[in-house]
Structure 1
């Protein structure tokens, strides 16, 4: 199948990515011809989930039977398994916002910094949406780019003269760019899109339906990986993205407590954003101005008073890191903002529905405790007690949970990337989990981290 440099409009996929259409077919948009195969794949996925869950529950039952031999370790094992299983159960209760025909005015805001390779395609996808032309405007805020980003935006303005551009003379940070876009916007809904992300044609019409509920201040869209075929790292991120949205965010959305609207693609009620804009823009933590974690921080400000939900029908793709060095830096930055914003949210999340509250505080505790428990199970117990069984049981349980996530992906997407969910589980255990102590220790270091 022939590749295209810009958008894909054929095959009735209605999906603008700027990438090979074959990759889109491989990520689960299957035709009627392969439906029998998909049924068999789903049966296999269910079998894997049931088998893995059965063994995990058996291991956790052993934790209860021998609880007092290692109470700290057993408490952690039981709690983390219960939390993960609860996410799966709650995600089954999730339903995307109903299409009630809502068509508010929309301002699509693209914040860009040195994105010469992708910005034109991003703008092109924004103008290709199936939304009434008089109902939306596109705004690009350039955050002092030093490459050819402005040249590409100017080229886009030739094709779409109505495109609004606000160019900073020097780099101020994404938060300043987002705020500038909000002030320029006139639409009832602000749709933020990263400059390396691509909207599906129906994404805006889908995401705005969530605002039919006046209690909702923000809606997180669903994001997948545009450059999924690049290498094993991008495939791993595809599996992780899908599960993170369709399980974690879906479970949070049941209670209207989605903790982070991603910068890739999210929508906000403009009046709600303007209520907190100045406070958010000037946020400080530990005496230092917050310069990263902008999307999670904005979500946090809105969660105090409003609901934040997730729309699985509103889909975009985004370019993810293709090199381990860049990926690890991104993950460290995300952990630093996660720790800061989760601590802040802990001051008000107790006001939310009980199940959401318990899940939130559990989610706060687990990543912080995990490195300590892993060292104890895998290093201290074998060294001090000659206990070689506990590390084996822990690793087996971790692999099985990874298989559950992978099988969940396989059930819904039915593509060959499902096994990379297990790859992510092992990658997290070997590398990412150890970033948390460093992220906590360097909270006052507000450097961007990826540039």
Structure 2
């Protein structure tokens, strides 16, 4: 196999480097942020900023703490090594090359699943006959049960539920998007936390495969992975991950099977919600027990490389996030850490938004000193929050490319603080628009298909 044909893989740097590097940058950032913020912001705004900064640093400290979920060893435990694992892959208008690499990654796992179910949800923009024949042949050759089923178009959830119906004996379901490529250790590592019977779901880390395709894709790689290693890692220490990623997530079978009717039929204001599937499954898991993230379980996925596709994806995610936030307040048990973490998160968001709006209405935001000092402090705080991006070593990204990509973090910060914030306000105001909004055709193509 040539280098070009190898599927990407990833690993983390050592724990000592991660902890010392993060704490060192935090100490430096603390001094700079407090100094800069104290010169340009008025007293109320400064107080809110300090609260947000303290919350961010606490997030980061919890994120780098050793996680007991990483000490679980179930693959070598005969009880858990026998887990029946089924991978659910819904497909709709996916690039055939990306789909083939996705499927191939399951067959090259160090711990292969027993079954992989591909459900073509009525695709109209691609012909998968060649990929289908290849997959069924290769799956059989390595002892994996391959299932390929086509349905009329009913959406991602229906496609996943079709996969569940083909695998009634599964113990663990792995939900994977059809453009994701799993690191060859992903399933083995993702199963580890299930040694704790209270763990109901495990989130993988999602990396961007096409980060070189555009500057937007590059800085969104920092934005997405950085936040996974920031907020989600911190919440994982409390066993309260709020949102697993569609790129790769693990669920005890009962989490999905016991909620099929709700999963398919949930509505908002009488309208069916066609997105936010992953956060809904995570909510089901949190109601049953614990939801964690495994930081050595990696999946690579294609991200939007054009502004139009990016905007539609983000608005869909943000609408789903707001809808799911309402449901978390309603359905999460008061006695669980997840409820209170969620409440604190939204309280900080409202405080920040209200302060920003007040500065805008007062005209203070347009004063040069306030604008520059506030922006510098916010960008530095953000860059510190996503620092852990550089601690992930990837086979498809050399050291230079890793640091060049991380260098776009200030752009990601400005984008997040301005454009994405306005988009979130718009998404909240229009949350009842529940259509999917993307994938009418193949929107991102994989130019590296084997």
**TM-score in same-fold range (> 0.5):** yes
Q: Which runs of 5+ in 2 are unaligned?
A: 394-398, 440-450
Aligned mate of 1:87, from 56, 59, 72: 59
Q: Deviations over 1:348-388 (max 9, x none)?
A: 4462455x5443212223445544432432453338xx854
* Rounded Cα–Cα distance in structure 1 between residues aligned with 2:182 and 2:384: 29
Write out aligned runs for 1:369-448 (5 A): 370-378=352-360, 380-382=362-364, 387-410=367-390, 413=393, 415-416=402-403, 417-448=405-436
Shift of 1:46: 6.1
Tell me the secondary structure at the aligned position of residue 234 of structure 2. helix
Distance 1:423 1:280, change over 3 A: same
Shift of 1:61: 6.8
Q: Residue 171 of structure 1 aligns with which residue?
A: 153
* Rounded Cα–Cα distance in structure 2 between residues aligned with 1:137 and 1:153: 15
* Rounded Cα–Cα distance in structure 2 between residues aligned with 1:46 and 1:318: 30
Q: Deviations over 1:264-294 (max 9, x none)?
A: 0001100222111211211111221111111
* Rounded Cα–Cα distance in structure 1 between residues aligned with 2:383 and 2:277: 32
Checking the alignment, whether the CA contact within 8 Å between 1:229 and 1:235 is kept in structure 2 is yes
Q: Residue 160 of structure 1 aligns with which residue?
A: 139
Write out aligned runs for 1:291-302 (5 A): 291-302=274-285
Q: Deviations over 1:93-140 (max 9, x none)?
A: 2424322323211001111101123111111111111125xx511110
Shift of 1:87: 0.8
User: What TM-score, normalized by structure 1, do the two folds share?
Assistant: 0.84
* Rounded Cα–Cα distance in structure 1 between residues aligned with 2:384 and 2:162: 43
Shift of 1:229: 2.2
* Rounded Cα–Cα distance in structure 1 between residues aligned with 2:56 and 2:195: 31
Checking the alignment, whether the CA contact within 8 Å between 1:130 and 1:201 is kept in structure 2 is yes
Q: Residue 190 of structure 2 aligns with which residue?
A: 207
Checking the alignment, whether the CA contact within 8 Å between 1:192 and 1:264 is kept in structure 2 is yes
Checking the alignment, whether the CA contact within 8 Å between 2:60 and 2:385 is kept in structure 1 is no
For the pair 1:54 / 2:36, whether they are aligned, the reply is no
For the pair 1:251 / 2:234, whether they are aligned, the reply is yes
For the pair 1:140 / 2:112, whether they are aligned, the reply is no
Q: Which protein has greater RCO, CA pairs closer than 8 Å, 6+ apart?
A: 2
Checking the alignment, whether the CA contact within 8 Å between 1:378 and 1:391 is kept in structure 2 is no
* Rounded Cα–Cα distance in structure 2 between residues aligned with 1:303 and 1:29: 27
* Rounded Cα–Cα distance in structure 2 between residues aligned with 1:241 and 1:407: 12
For the pair 1:195 / 2:178, whether they are aligned, the reply is yes
For the pair 1:359 / 2:341, whether they are aligned, the reply is yes
Distance 1:187 1:86, change over 3 A: same
Q: Residue 320 of structure 1 aligns with which residue?
A: 303
Aligned mate of 2:49, from 77, 100, 105: 77
Name which of structure 1's ranges 368-377 and 116-125 shifts more when overlaid on structure 2: 368-377
Checking the alignment, whether the CA contact within 8 Å between 2:36 and 2:374 is kept in structure 1 is no
* Rounded Cα–Cα distance in structure 2 between residues aligned with 1:331 and 1:348: 25
* Matched residues, number: 416
Q: Residue 73 of structure 2 aligns with which residue?
A: 99
Distance 1:85 1:443, change over 3 A: same
* Rounded Cα–Cα distance in structure 1 between residues aligned with 2:180 and 2:276: 18
Q: Residue 109 of structure 1 aligns with which residue?
A: 88
* Rounded Cα–Cα distance in structure 1 between residues aligned with 2:86 and 2:198: 20
Q: Which runs of 5+ in 1 are unaligned?
A: 9-15, 18-23
Tell me the secondary structure at the aligned position of residue 129 of structure 1. coil
Instruction: Report the RMSD for the aligned CA atoms in angstroms.
Output: 2.9
Aligned mate of 1:339, from 312, 318, 322: 322
Shift of 1:43: 8.1
